[in-house]
């Protein structure tokens, strides 16, 4: 009981602090609106491509769709990430949100015209790239609007807000899908609705004063031409990651989680497609899995500061990865209710690792290189996910009955745990 009261008092203090930081509050509003639009867009696109009676999707088609959507920007993102440490991040956010708004309308038009998957996925690829650019910029800018001693707690608030917004956006999609139908024309209406939160995100980006979001110039900044900074973006980002053990270790653990999550996602999608191809019911089951994962992630943001305060930034991810490895074993039953429950627990464990990674990058990395590192994290985040899905597609039967794939997820978590423990021991943070 005393711990519970202390926890409630702590979070009450956090929310009071949020109200006293106008810059952080504006950043929070922008993150919420942006991720609501992203959740709506991703769910609408999944409905349009994977759960559309006018289109078909087998394991390889699903893997290919994810690869087209997320792999190109994952490779190019760290190059573009140099711009976050080069230009006024406010200007970058305005430009990225403007691009998102235009391209969302283009994707909606392509769907309405009934074009094939490839042009739609290519348009969505650029939208996702702009969205992830915004997300990396917001994360890199957070220490500019929050005192250093409050970064862990405020990062949890920002992540929780963004996760909740994405969750509500994804689930809100079911309403217009029910109203307009699951065909290409109905899917296009959902995509057109995404323009509303994206336009609001653009307006909120304009409200920030110039240079308030950084970057700071320092001796560690990458100097030279813009072309040089972009061309060496991957190099400087990867070198910075490897130079900071806390960052290297947490990104190794996070990559393991994303690989396991990729395996589970493909398993659920293929099983749902095989067992229940009704457009709304099948999509509803897939959304329920994603929602359970999102709820687990959301709750983890509330407890992560408490866990870090009790165990420290070194031990907390170890416990999270060990817990995830045990939970993953239960997913081998391949029963959808069990897998949804596992998604909830694994979403929480993975979010603990991610928050520790974010905190390491926000506290242990110089601001002049922080944008580089966040884009490297984003690249690893999705490359690990796509690699796992592609590998699973090689061995997965059409009905998705592949318990060995779920067991492989446990092995991946254990490897991630071993790498994390080995690397992080080189420099254990104080808290």
Q: Which tens digit of pLDDT belongs to each residue from 280-338? A: 445 667 778 888 888 898 888 888 888 988 888 889 999 999 999 999 999 888 888 89
85-99, 190-204, 271-285, 386-400: segment of lowest average pLDDT: 271-285
92-96, 127-131, 154-158: segment of lowest average pLDDT: 154-158
Matching residue, tokens 């061309």? 231
From the number of C-beta atoms within 10 Å of its C-beta (0-12, 13-18, 19+), residue 398 rates as: exposed
pLDDT band at 228 (very low <50, low <70, confident <90, very high): low
Alpha helix segments (H runs only) across 114-150? 117-141
pLDDT higher at 50 or 188: 188
pLDDT at 148: 78
Average pLDDT over residues 260-289: 74
Indicate the CATH number for domain 22-208+226-424.
1.20.1250.20
Nearest of 73, 403, 387 to residue 259 by alpha carbon? 387
Q: Dihedral, CA atoms, 400, 343, 117, 273, nearest 10 degrees?
A: 40
Q: How many C-beta neighbours within 10 Å does residue 377 have? A: 26
Q: Give, for 147, the enclosing helix (H) or strand (E).
A: none
**Can you read off the two tokens belonging to residue 353?**
């690792």
pLDDT band at 429 (very low <50, low <70, confident <90, very high): very low
pLDDT at 417: 96
pLDDT higher at 61 or 417: 417
pLDDT surpasses 70 at 55:
no
pLDDT at 409: 95
Say how many residues make up the chain. 431
Q: Give, for 99, the enclosing helix (H) or strand (E).
A: helix 89-112
pLDDT higher at 222 or 386: 386
pLDDT at 334: 85
pLDDT at 2: 44
pLDDT at 258: 94
Average pLDDT over residues 165-185: 85
pLDDT at 143: 86
Winning range, highest mean pLDDT, from 45-54, 55-64, 267-276, 322-331 = 322-331
pLDDT at 410: 96
1-15, 101-115, 129-143, 261-275: segment of lowest average pLDDT: 1-15
pLDDT at 238: 85
C-alpha distance from residue 33 to each of 17, 252, 353 (Å): 21, 30, 24
pLDDT at 430: 44
pLDDT higher at 111 or 72: 111
pLDDT at 413: 97
pLDDT at 36: 95
The whole-chain average pLDDT of the chain stands at 83
pLDDT surpasses 50 at 160:
yes
pLDDT at 342: 94
pLDDT band at 431 (very low <50, low <70, confident <90, very high): very low
Matching residue, tokens 């060990």? 322
Number of alpha carbons in the 13 Å side-chain half-sphere of residue 367: 16
pLDDT surpasses 70 at 19:
no
pLDDT surpasses 70 at 51:
no
Phi-psi region of 114 (alpha: psi -120 to 50; beta: other; left: phi over 0): left
pLDDT band at 425 (very low <50, low <70, confident <90, very high): confident
- What gap in Å lies between CA 36 and CA 166, rounded to an integer? 4
pLDDT at 278: 46
pLDDT at 263: 94
pLDDT surpasses 80 at 11:
no
pLDDT at 219: 45
pLDDT at 38: 93
pLDDT surpasses 50 at 146:
yes
Q: At how many degrees (to 10) do helices 22-49 and 117-141 cross? A: 160
Domain ranges of the chain: 22-208+226-424
Q: How many C-beta neighbours within 10 Å does residue 395 have? A: 11
């Amino acid at each position: 009981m005393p711990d519970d009261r202390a926890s409630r008092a702590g979070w009450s203090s956090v929310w009071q602090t949020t109200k006293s930081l106008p810059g952080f509050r504006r950043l929070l509003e922008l993150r919420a609106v942006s991720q609501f639009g992203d959740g709506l867009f991703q769910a609408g696109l999944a409905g349009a491509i994977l759960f559309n009676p006018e289109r078909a999707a087998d394991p390889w088609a699903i893997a290919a769709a994810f690869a087209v959507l997320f792999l190109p920007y994952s490779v190019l993102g760290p190059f573009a990430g140099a711009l976050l440490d080069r230009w006024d991040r406010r200007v970058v956010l305005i430009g990225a949100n403007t691009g998102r708004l235009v391209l969302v309308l283009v994707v909606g038009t392509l769907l309405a015209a009934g074009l094939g998957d490839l042009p739609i996925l290519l348009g969505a690829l650029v939208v996702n790239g702009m969205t992830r650019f915004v997300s990396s910029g917001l994360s890199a800018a957070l220490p500019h609007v929050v005192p250093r001693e409050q970064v862990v707690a405020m990062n949890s608030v920002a992540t929780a807000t963004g996760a909740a917004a994405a969750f509500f956006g994804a689930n809100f999609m079911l309403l217009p899908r029910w109203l307009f139908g699951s065909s290409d024309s109905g899917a296009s209406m959902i995509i057109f609705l995404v323009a509303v939160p994206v336009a609001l995100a653009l307006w909120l980006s304009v409200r920030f004063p110039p240079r308030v979001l950084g970057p700071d110039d320092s001796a560690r900044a990458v100097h030279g031409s813009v072309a040089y900074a972009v061309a060496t973006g991957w190099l400087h980002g990867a070198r910075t990651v490897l130079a900071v053990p806390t960052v290297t270790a947490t990104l190794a653990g996070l990559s393991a989680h994303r690989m396991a999550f990729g395996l589970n996602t493909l398993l659920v999608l293929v099983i749902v497609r095989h067992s229940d191809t009704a457009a709304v019911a099948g999509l509803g089951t897939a959304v329920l899995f994603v929602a359970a994962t999102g709820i687990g992630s959301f709750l983890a943001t509330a407890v992560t500061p408490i866990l870090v305060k009790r165990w420290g930034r070194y031990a907390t991810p170890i416990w999270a990865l060990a817990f995830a490895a045990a939970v993953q074993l239960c997913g081998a039953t391949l029963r959808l209710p069990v897998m949804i429950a596992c998604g909830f627990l694994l979403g929480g464990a993975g979010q603990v690792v991610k928050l520790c990674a974010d905190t390491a990058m926000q506290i242990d990395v110089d601001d002049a290189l922080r944008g580089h590192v966040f884009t490297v994290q984003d690249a690893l985040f999705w490359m690990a996910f796509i690699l796992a899905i592609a590998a699973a597609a090689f061995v997965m039967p059409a009905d998705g009955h592949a318990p060995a794939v779920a067991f492989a997820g446990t092995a991946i978590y254990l490897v991630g745990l071993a790498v994390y423990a080995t690397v992080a021991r080189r420099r254990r943070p104080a808290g």
